[in-house]
Structure 1
Amino acid sequence: MSETPPFEGRPAAPAAPGQPINGSGPGVWDPEFFQNPYPTYAWLRENDPVRGITWPGPPGHAWLVTRYEDVHAGQADSRLRHDLTAFMAELGIPEPPAIGGDVARLLGRNLTLLDAPDHPRLRAVLSRFFTKRRIEGMRPRIEVLTDGLLDDLAERAGDGPVDLVQDFAWKLPLTVVCELLGVPAEDHELFGYGTDASRDRGATGEYAAGAVVAVERLRALIGEKRANPADDAFTSFVRALDAGEFLDEDEVIAQAMLFVVAGHETTVDLLGNGIHALLSNPDQLKQLTADPSLVTNTVEEVLRYYPPTDIVTPQYTAEPIAFGDVEVDRHQIVILSRASANRDPERYPDPERFDITRNTAGHLGFGHGPHYCVGGMTARIEGQTVFNRIFDRFPDLRHAGDPEQVRWKSNPVARGLVSLPVELGTPRRPGKTA
């Protein structure tokens, strides 16, 4: 087993994160990579599956892990920790000021950035509300919301291209997640700031300003739910706070913000990515429209082929850990790529082919292990509803322009489209089938 190589001679301040430190070969996280990361990931899996790359924070480099076996194992390995604040403390490095100040520190208390004992404590509170029965009970409401948005699109048929990301996929998950949480309808737009700003990660000022407004609205909502409890997630959180299961109001708000922002953006990207994949593979779309029961596996194949989240958070090694024949030392940053793992030919035959009938078992679209996505069930129902209904309502739906030229977000975390221009064609009347 080889140990991770030393980094003597590396630049103290590398020009950009994601570039190879020792050796040659492609880097990651540049504009070309974001448009299509898969050739780079294929090269890395074959030639350098535990890749040393430049990293903007301590210790100045990171390890990018790309093979399925390693990524799958790493997501369930307790030696990989998520709390980078604790990591900085272990290194004796003062935590730098966060963009967004106090609000950023509050949001940093969400369970995706925590380890035991806080992570299992918070996850248990959330899981009590987000049961399979409750989420499945949302299906009729999701169908109604979807049909309403498709009606809105139908009114624009013949007016030229529409953007299915902003005009459709962005709207449905925001309403669903806000209704589940118990956010009043007039406040839903407040919580769309996360995915709007995330389409350009340079918009940190806009993002921070939106976060401040959303946090203060949730703080006020705590008192409102105490006075007027309802059958919603936020009331459940407030009751848990009053029972001592949350440490304070900030911890409640951090979980609610995670639920809204992550639940919204992930599903926006699932819907946009899935519609794009189906339009780009007409043979698969034909199979789905001929047999709508294939929609469940279609969603799973979209999650494998275009996972809406590539890298959730960087992690650090609390102890040395081996990936294949490479041992990574303690106090190293490790980055696990779900998008690469999901296209590993050692796991999935012909992985570059989009196939809605393939066995997708074990895909990492929503992660694996203790940090598996709490909201995955809701996103799946939205995907199942949309992928059947939109092509039934718009049988002539097609890309407006070259599908190879769609623009993807420049974001190492979220893998999704900035926009999806389409021609709707002639809509079918509601309730009328071919």
Structure 2
Amino acid sequence: MPNSTAATAPLAARPPGELYLLDPELLADPAGGYGRVREQGPVVRAWLTDTQPVWLVTRYDDVREGLRDGRFVSSPDAIEDHSGEDPRRALVDMLNLPEEVQKYFLVSALDTDPPAHTRTRGAVNRAFGARRMQALRPRVEQITADLLDDLRQRSADGVLELVDGFAYPLAVTVVCELAGVPEQDRAVFRRWGDDILVMEPERLRESSPAVVETVLRLLDERRREPADDLLSTLAAARQDEKFRLTEEEAVAMVLNVVMAGYDNTAQLIVNSLAALLTHPDQLKLLQSDPELLPGAVNEFIRWCGPDIMVRMRIAAEDLDFHGTAVRKGDCVQFVLVSANRDPRRYPDPDRLDITRRPFDGTEGHIGFGHGIHYCVGAALSRLQCEIALHTLLERHPGLRLAEGASMSRTVLLDGPALPAQPRALSGDE
């Protein structure tokens, strides 16, 4: 019998004991926590906030199916006769954004459906084409080399700080150069991104208007003086017959690309390094055969990718999804971290194996999502991770993780007196 309890049932508040997506224990171990949810059933009820219920879909095949299913939409605007509140409003309200900037956070390609999605995605796709990514490779390699040179020169007792000193500066520099954000404006984006990550409402009330004002100014500059960058592409799209963007859509696209481009990529690099350094057998294997690196990066995305889930979807009609009655207007979260460790899909899924290869021609994971909302910057993120790992391990082949080092804030050391035996220490955060 289908589960007939609708996620939007009129409950005053989250019942005691029901799963809460902001539970600190769940946030601390999403792979384990959502893995346990995955084994409870194909569709499980949880709570996005204390008043907003949501259905969780956690199994690999079900997540892929749901992300291709047009009955799950990104915006209530795509739902016929929808008259209720926008369920995404709860997420925006959590950010405590000033009213004048809220409009920029609900109109991006991530939150729209065809035909609007086709138009907004088309405007940005050309900036992330395969040819453009390959053309970027030498520049990414140069930025990577320069950062490591600088770290070595500034190191005290051989200390190389590879989170705030390497992974984040690399990702920020690359995505800002692609976007066309001048160096003097990059701190505004970094501050805003940090405020979102730590969910600091008071700080966001200051940093959000600042970053929006910066993007508006840069778009205006590119309209007057175009360059070969994303900002110029989006500025020109205001007059594009096929992929015309509104000013709000152009701003939202810049914010999404820069935010995802630097934080997700930096976290992927950090997580991949931590995975290798806590699995010395895999590190040794990769060092013995560098040709394994592209496949290894896909395994890192599967095993420790930075995204827990995709943006929330909304049921556009009543439907039965794997035995659960999902009502029109219900919120649904498709969970990537559990799908990528689903034993129904992967043999021994919790084991890191850089030789793991897909059997069906896919990437071997859904860490970048699936369907029409597949991450537009996936190729750039993968490219940076490959170059970062290759260059770092080539220069510091004895790199190892310090006792007590964090998976999320990792400081790695390379002792100049013993270059074949680098050391590592945990970070201060």
TM-score, structure 1 length as denominator?
0.86
Residue 39 of structure 1: how far off its partner (Å): 2.6
| Residue of structure 2 in register with 1:182 after alignment | 180
Structure 1 gaps, min length 5? 408-416, 430-434
Mark the CA change 1:9 to 1:386 in structure 2 (over 3 Å): closer, same or farther. Answer: closer
Asked if the contact 1:157/1:425 (under 8 Å) is kept, the reply is no
Identity percentage of aligned residues: 35
SS in 2 for 1:380: helix
Q: CA RMSD in A?
A: 2.6
Mark the CA change 1:43 to 1:223 in structure 2 (over 3 Å): closer, same or farther. Answer: closer
Mark the CA change 1:281 to 1:402 in structure 2 (over 3 Å): closer, same or farther. Answer: same
1 CA distance for matches of 2:210 and 2:417? 39
1 CA distance for matches of 2:146 and 2:383? 16
| Residue of structure 2 in register with 1:74 after alignment | 66
The one-character-per-residue Cα deviations of 1:192-231 (angstroms, maximum 9, x if unpaired) are 1243223412x12223422211211221222321222111
1 CA distance for matches of 2:130 and 2:152? 33
Equivalent position to 1:253, from 251, 254, 273: 251
Residue 395 of structure 1: how far off its partner (Å): 2.2
SS in 2 for 1:311: coil
Q: Trace 1:267-416 onto structure 2 (pairs within 5 A).
A: 267-360=265-358, 361=362, 362-403=364-405, 406=406
Asked if the contact 1:394/1:425 (under 8 Å) is kept, the reply is no
Mark the CA change 1:41 to 1:7 in structure 2 (over 3 Å): closer, same or farther. Answer: closer
Between 269-278 and 305-314, the greater mean CA deviation after superposition? 305-314
Mark the CA change 1:11 to 1:241 in structure 2 (over 3 Å): closer, same or farther. Answer: closer
| Residue of structure 2 in register with 1:239 after alignment | 236
Residue 320 of structure 1: how far off its partner (Å): 2.8
Mark the CA change 1:337 to 1:390 in structure 2 (over 3 Å): closer, same or farther. Answer: same
1 CA distance for matches of 2:357 and 2:83? 44
Equivalent position to 1:420, from 370, 388, 410: 410
State the number of aligned residues: 408
Mark the CA change 1:420 to 1:47 in structure 2 (over 3 Å): closer, same or farther. Answer: same
Residue 354 of structure 1: how far off its partner (Å): 0.6
**Which amino acid is the alignment partner of residue 72 of structure 1?**
R
Structure 2 gaps, min length 5? 420-429
| Residue of structure 2 in register with 1:115 after alignment | 113
SS in 2 for 1:401: coil
Residue 344 of structure 1: how far off its partner (Å): 0.2
2 CA distance for matches of 1:368 and 1:61? 24
Asked if the contact 2:302/2:366 (under 8 Å) is kept, the reply is yes
TM-score, structure 2 length as denominator?
0.87
| Residue of structure 2 in register with 1:413 after alignment | none
The one-character-per-residue Cα deviations of 1:311-353 (angstroms, maximum 9, x if unpaired) are 2311110023443233322221111100000000111111101
| Residue of structure 2 in register with 1:13 after alignment | 13
**Which amino acid is the alignment partner of residue 381 of structure 2?**
A
SS in 1 for 2:82: helix
Between 354-363 and 300-309, the greater mean CA deviation after superposition? 354-363
Asked if the contact 2:180/2:230 (under 8 Å) is kept, the reply is yes
2 CA distance for matches of 1:110 and 1:229? 22
2 CA distance for matches of 1:210 and 1:9? 36
Asked if the contact 1:395/1:428 (under 8 Å) is kept, the reply is no
